[in-house]
């Protein structure tokens, strides 16, 4: 098995995007537990996100959600981020919180409503231009709840037409990334329920259209690393949303439920050329911190990804390949498991110190006083949450 010293440079290639909404109040459909010190606007969200990068060196960009993160001047927001040592990343559209979209947005049978949804994506593309963002990420709640409610094939045709209009508005360096989810809030059928549907739609658009894979958007028992492999093989894994789930789309801290699954996914990411300088897949956290503090929750998350990435990079690929060619299943599995069971935490602490980062980012943040300062300073106003 490889030694941690042999993968030091590769670890430096890791970049994990943070979601602005993870720093606001969030929870389940039953209850959102508010916390003191939560950001009241996108500027404060980015300030909190910058703390994660400051302590880990792993999170140089922050994704925005429109209209949740609308501001009067995106140029000012971009400069604010850059002054804090981070940049603006993916721009996420939102067509699931408007009454007009009850029966669909870009798939709606009403031309007016469908054009309204398309125009919203045009707005997002303009935000991308002003912030220097590359990716427009689209997740759709569109679908139906009852058999016969609508024509499923017609909805796919309208989806294709809408995506073409949005795609044609992209700049030369911009990309469209289509996310999929197999249920909720459309329980009979969802218009983009799986990676195959997303792939079929984006493949028809052109080279600047990609698929987004979210860990929580699959039925129980789904082999997610197989999907990762296939999309990398096809050159269409545009982005990956990390989170953890026990039952459905739980959006819990990545690696909390099944760290071995996270390891297996990252093995395929590395092997398939999706990691670091090898590819252009955007890796982002997509989590909701229900009961834990927001900033430490994000720090813990990126550290979990880094730890499993280190283990994935330690896999002896030559020995593994030889065992696979020999049909030696037990040896091949053992090689993979040796890497997974390697405790890399002390080595990663030393690696961080060698780069001027705190050996223990969680402890360093706790000692920084930042958490106490925002509780004291952020008094009054309206805290950010879902929809703001």
Mean pLDDT, consecutive 10-residue stretches, the chain (388 aa), reads 87 98 88 93 98 98 98 98 98 97 98 98 98 98 98 98 98 98 96 98 98 96 98 98 94 96 98 96 94 97 98 98 98 98 97 97 98 97 81
Which CATH number is correct for 13-377, 3.40.190.10, 3.30.530.20, 3.20.20.150, 3.90.1150.10? 3.20.20.150
The closest of 280, 285, 277, 282 to 302, measured between CA atoms, is 285
Please state, in angstroms and rounded to a whole number, the distance separating the CA atoms of residues 260 and 283. 18
What is the C-alpha separation between 280 and 232, in angstroms, rounded? 11
Phi, psi of 364 (to 5 degrees): -65, -40
Q: Write phi, then psi, for 43 (nearest 5 degrees).
A: -65, -40
pLDDT of residue 388: 57
> Is the entire prediction scored with pTM above 0.85?
yes
Which tokens hold the place of 26?
């969030």
Q: Who's near 113: CB < 8 A, 6+ residues apart?
A: 100, 101, 104, 105
Q: What is the pLDDT of residue 337?
A: 98
Domain boundaries, the chain: 13-377
Q: Say if residues 357 and 341 touch (Cβ distance below 8 Å).
A: no
Cα three-residue angle 387-131-77, rounded to 5 degrees: 65
The percent of the chain in helix, strand and coil, each rounded to the nearest 5, is 45, 15, 40
Stated as kind and residue range, the H or E segment containing 298 is helix 294-313
Print burial letters for 317-326: b (CB count within 10 Å at least 16), e (below 16). eeebeebeee
């Amino acid at each position: 098995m490889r030694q941690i010293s042999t993968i030091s440079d590769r670890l430096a290639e890791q970049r994990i995007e943070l979601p602005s909404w993870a720093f606001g109040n969030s929870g389940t459909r039953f209850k959102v537990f508010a916390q003191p010190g939560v950001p009241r606007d996108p500027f404060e969200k980015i300030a909190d996100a910058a703390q994660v990068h400051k302590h880990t060196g792993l999170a140089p960009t922050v994704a925005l959600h429109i209209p949740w993160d609308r501001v009067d001047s995106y140029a000012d927001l971009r400069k604010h981020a850059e002054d804090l040592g981070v940049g603006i990343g993916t721009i996420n559209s939102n067509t699931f919180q408007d009454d007009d979209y009850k029966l669909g947005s870009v798939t709606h049978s009403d031309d007016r409503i469908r054009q309204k949804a398309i125009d919203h994506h045009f707005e997002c593309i303009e935000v991308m231009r002003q912030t220097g963002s590359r990716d427009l990420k689209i997740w759709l709640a569109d679908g139906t709840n009852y058999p016969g409610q609508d024509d499923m094939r017609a909805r796919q045709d309208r989806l294709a037409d809408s995506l073409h209009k949005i795609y044609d508005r992209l700049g030369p360096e911009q990309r469209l990334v289509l996310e999929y989810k197999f249920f909720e809030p459309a329980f009979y059928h969802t218009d983009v329920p799986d990676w195959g549907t997303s792939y079929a739609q984006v493949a028809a658009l052109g080279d600047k259209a990609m698929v987004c894979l979210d860990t929580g958007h699959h039925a129980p028992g789904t082999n997610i690393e197989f999907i990762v492999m296939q999309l990398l093989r096809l050159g269409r894994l545009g982005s990956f949303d990390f989170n953890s789930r026990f039952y459905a789309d739980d959006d819990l801290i990545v690696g909390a439920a099944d760290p071995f699954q996270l390891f297996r996914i990252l093995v395929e990411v590395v092997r398939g050329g999706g990691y670091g300088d090898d590819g252009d897949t955007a890796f982002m956290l997509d989590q909701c911190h229900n009961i834990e503090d927001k900033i430490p929750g994000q720090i813990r998350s990126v550290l979990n990804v880094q730890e499993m990435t280190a283990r994935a990079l330690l896999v002896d690929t030559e020995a593994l390949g030889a065992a696979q060619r020999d049909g030696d299943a037990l040896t091949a599995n053992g090689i993979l498991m040796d890497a997974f069971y390697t405790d890399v935490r002390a080595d990663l602490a030393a690696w961080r110190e060698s780069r001027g980062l705190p050996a223990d980012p969680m402890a360093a943040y706790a000692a920084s006083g930042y958490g106490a300062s925002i509780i004291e300073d952020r008094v009054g106003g309206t805290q950010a949450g879902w929809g703001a």
